[in-house]
């Protein structure tokens, strides 16, 4: 039995559709269901519906053999897991962003304050790429509010269509990382290598560039 940690939220439907296209799922994992453990005995699979940020933890501890998680979460959390495959779904990017029209002045400002859901990504970028020490304010959502309300100078956050930035008078200052969902595996689960290889092979055939 292979246990797969699936991300709840915006990635869930795209992931289930890909698993169905790859004939890995015969059962319905509908968004309405509140079940957190879904057995597919016919394919000897068990699905865990977990918060995206928790997927690497379930896989790292071996509670799940494989998982689907956004590259942003892997960059932020640095968990001891294998990254096996880019599933090419959930495409977006992590950006440095701030108020429209004043990026040049703000980027020259010393002692910047950065609001973000990704403190490690932000800290590493400013230290390693810009050689700057910055103050990080951790937020868990609606991060765009911070520069509008004076809580921070700028933000490091996910951008998909750019609509949230645009509708709030913000713009991308720097694109940091392209993001998509990745298939990850527990380092010890390679005892299941044959089944995991089969999952990879089936998914690879269905992944759309």
Ligand X SMILES: O=P(O)(O)OC[C@H]1O[C@H](OP(=O)(O)OP(=O)(O)O)[C@H](O)[C@@H]1O
Ligand Y SMILES: Nc1ncnc2c1ncn2[C@@H]1O[C@H](COP(=O)(O)OP(=O)(O)OP(=O)(O)O)[C@@H](O)[C@H]1O
Residue 55 in tokens: 């997927």
Comparing CB distances to ligand X, the nearer of 108 and 163 is: 163
Is the dihedral angle over the CA atoms 32, 47, 186, 22 positive or is it negative?
Answer: negative
158 binds ligand Y (CB under 6 A): yes
Residue closest to ligand Y when measured from CB atoms = 70
DSSP summary character for residue 54: G
Comparing CB distances to ligand X, the nearer of 17 and 171 is: 171
- Rounded to 10 degrees, the C-alpha dihedral 76/15/22/55 comes to 40
93 binds ligand Y (CB under 6 A): no
> Residue 140 Cβ, how far from ligand Y at the closest point, in Å?
6
Per CB under 6 A, the list member of 1, 9, 23, 201 interacting with ligand Y is: 9
Per CB under 6 A, the list member of 10, 130, 175, 187 interacting with ligand Y is: 10
Residue 195 in tokens: 């089944």
Per CB under 6 A, the list member of 3, 5, 19, 52 interacting with ligand Y is: 52
Number of neighbours of residue 131 by Cβ within 10 angstroms: 7
Identify the three-state secondary structure at position 193.
helix
Residues numbered 135-164 forming contacts with ligand X, rule: CB under 6 A: 141-142, 144, 157-164
- Residue 7 binds which entry of ligand X, ligand Y, none, CB below 5-8 Å type-dependent: ligand Y
Q: How far does Cα 118 stand from its chain's mean position?
A: 11
Per CB under 6 A, the list member of 3, 6, 58, 90 interacting with ligand Y is: 90
β pairing state of 92-99 and 81-86: unpaired
Strand order in the sheet with 170-179: 135-138, 113-116, 154-159, 92-99, 170-179
> Residue 161 Cβ, how far from ligand Y at the closest point, in Å?
7
> Residue 119 Cβ, how far from ligand Y at the closest point, in Å?
15
Number of neighbours of residue 99 by Cβ within 10 angstroms: 17
Give the contacts of 39 (CB within 8 A, at least 6 positions apart).
45, 46, 47
Interacting residues toward ligand Y by CB under 6 A: 7, 9-11, 52-53, 70, 72-73, 90, 92, 141, 158, 160, 179
Chain residues binding ligand X by CB under 6 A are 117, 141-142, 144, 157-164
């Amino acid at each position: 039995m292979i246990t797969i940690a699936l991300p709840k939220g915006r990635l869930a439907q795209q992931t289930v559709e890909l698993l169905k296209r790859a004939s890995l799922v015969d059962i319905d994992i509908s968004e309405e269901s509140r079940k957190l453990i879904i057995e597919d005995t016919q394919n000897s699979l068990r699905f865990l519906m977990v918060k995206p940020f928790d997927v690497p933890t379930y896989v790292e501890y071996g509670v799940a053999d494989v998982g689907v998680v956004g590259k942003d979460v892997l960059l932020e959390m640095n968990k001891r897991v294998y990254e096996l495959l880019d599933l090419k779904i959930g495409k977006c990017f992590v950006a440095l962003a701030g108020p429209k029209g004043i990026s040049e002045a703000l980027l020259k400002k010393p002692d910047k304050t950065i609001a973000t859901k990704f403190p490690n990504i932000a800290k590493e970028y400013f230290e390693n790429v810009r050689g700057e020490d910055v103050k990080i304010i951790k937020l868990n959502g609606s991060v765009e509010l911070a520069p509008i309300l004076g809580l921070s100078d700028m933000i490091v956050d996910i951008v998909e269509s750019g609509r949230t930035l645009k509708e709030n008078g913000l713009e991308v200052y720097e694109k940091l990382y392209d993001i998509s969902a990745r298939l990850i595996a527990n380092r010890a689960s390679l005892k299941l290598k044959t089944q995991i290889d089969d999952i990879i092979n089936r998914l690879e055939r269905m992944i759309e560039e």
